[in-house]
Amino acid sequence: MPLARIDLVQGKSADYRRTIGEVIYDAMTATLNVPPNDRFQVITEHPDENFIADPTYLDISRTRDCIFIQVTLNAGRTVELKSAFYQAVADGLHARLGLRREDVFINLVEVAKENWSFGNGVAQYAPK
């Protein structure tokens, strides 16, 4: 049920963007107990002047290759699972694309299960 929004500066290939999505999905299934086929992603490119990532916040050196990953998901996962997800994404993007781990910015947004409708106007996970 996660929804991943991925933002990056314009100019990367379709294969590069596709690989980002694959790495994130693989990390979700491996670390966050996301079921198979639960893949919903939006990848958006931005002109350089519209993509602002502080280059030194928290003493982390970021480049123009920095990507933002925001995942909305059900509340309730432990800090350990979240940390494992962060590491799996950073490591996977580094291994598959050569993206620096410093350039992987991740934000998780937790919501209650009733905040989802996957179609048909039905809240499939709402308590009954």
Mark whether 2 is an active-site residue: yes
* In-domain check, residue 125: no
The Cα 32–Cα 4 span in angstroms is 13
Q: Which residues contact 110 (CB under 8 A, 6 or more apart)?
A: 72, 73, 74, 75, 76, 77
* In-domain check, residue 53: yes
Residue 115 scores a pLDDT above 90:
no
Amino acid at 56: T
Q: Structurally, how many domains does the chain consist of?
A: 1
Round the CA-based radius of gyration of the chain to a whole number and report it: 15
* In-domain check, residue 124: no
Q: Write down the pTM of the prediction.
A: 0.93
* In-domain check, residue 55: yes
- The single residue of 2, 35, 47, 55 carrying the catalytic annotation is 2
Q: How confident is the model at residue 127 (pLDDT cuts 50, 70, 90)?
A: confident
CATH of the domain at 35: 3.30.429.10
What is the predicted pLDDT for the residue at 52? 97
Q: How confident is the model at residue 1 (pLDDT cuts 50, 70, 90)?
A: confident
Span 27-35, mean pLDDT? 95
Q: Domain limits at 40?
A: 3-115
**Helix H or strand E segment including 82:** helix 79-97
* In-domain check, residue 28: yes
Instruction: Identify which has the larger pLDDT, 37 or 128.
Output: 37
* In-domain check, residue 120: no
* In-domain check, residue 74: yes
